[in-house]
Structure 1
Amino acid sequence: MKFLNSFSIFFLWITGFSIFIFFFLGDAYSEKYEYIILAPPEILKPTPAGEITTGFQLEQPVDWNLISDSKLNQKGTLCIDLILANYNDRKNSGTFSMDLRAGHMSQEILLNANAVHDNDYQRFCFNALPLRDIAHKSTTLTLKGVDSPPGKAITAWMTSDITRGHARRGNQELDKSLVFSISVMTESNKKPIWAIVLTVLCGLSISVLFWPTRSGLR
């Protein structure tokens, strides 16, 4: 009888553990995919946009006509990768933002200036703006300075390749474009078979530690 009770506890433990791992930590098991739907423009005569200090504002249009309809119909989170710089690993402070506006919909992402790597892509993912909902709407990216002081702000690289559209600062249209790409992040709802096997093996390996020995059953 004691053996049956111990076996019942063991069975409940492994079942509960497996359910917890599989469902509550399921994001770790989900397969994620990334699709680049618009490659960045060619970097020609690169020029810094200037320090993104308080009040700075630079707009970049998004031309959906450059992307095929089959790519625009994908489900997933829209992400923008933008080349930023921190002036040779200077210690910057304050915050800046990237705003994506499409028609009457918009989302703004704030980021600390000290989190920016020098001459590298920074990713901004707009999970509140599904790609299908904003595709073909008049869309603008706006890079804004929030509270970084001069000498402590980051910048963005610009290119003379204007195939992605002309950037604007204030009322002035520039013969430059931000260096950015557009990706879609998708996540599969199907749990791969290896996740199920891994969950069971983890539960078994931990449960062995608590399995009663014969001496304990006497």
Structure 2
Amino acid sequence: MASSVLDRGETITPLRIPTAAGTFDAVAAGPCNGRKVLLLHGFPQSGIAWKGQLQALARAGYRAVAPDQRGYSPDVRPLAVEDYWLDYAVDDVVAMADALGWYRFDLVGQDWGAAVGWIAAARYTHRVRTLATVSLPRPGPQPIPEDSQALESALNWYRANDFLGYGHRVTVPTLFIADNAPDWVTGPYQWEQFSPGISELLLSHLGRF
């Protein structure tokens, strides 16, 4: 993937993240010494779906990384449906953070990425500084992997999960952009209706903690 030079000099660069599950493709922006933010895409997208947020975060001095999740990264594309259990995707989050050398990081997720984010933030309070989730896809077409095998793997997220056993409450500061869900959070909580200003809401949320 070629680097993409953005409006005000920020550059999105390709990144490879090696883990025990395989090597994840990702895109990154912002200074390497900036505060760390991991962004998880939904279905059927890829890390570059966060391009606007990568730009905004980089401009504000954050180091932002958006991986292609399992099934979307060619080197992490298991065939079995059960390999797409949310537990494995949550493990991927920590494995990628470890590979990046991040102990504490902010976590952002949309759609299936939001589901992973909720669980990861609840389980790994000592690692996840804050959580921000968006439950609905952004309007308009989204970039998706070109080959049909990636789409088939992506559908395994739906086949593998029934959402039972994920009742842990989130204690880290949380921003949820969509329907209200205060019963699932015991830490500082902010709720906003879905709007085009996701980047502004995200920066405001991160800036408070």
User: Which category of TM-score, normalised to the shorter sequence, fits these structures?
Assistant: under 0.3
Q: If each structure's strand is expressed as a fraction of its own residues, which one has the higher value?
A: 1
Q: Whose helix proportion is higher, 1 or 2?
A: 2
TM-score for the superposition, normalised by structure 1: 0.25
Q: Which has the larger radius of gyration?
A: 1
- TM-score, normalised by the number of residues in structure 2: 0.25
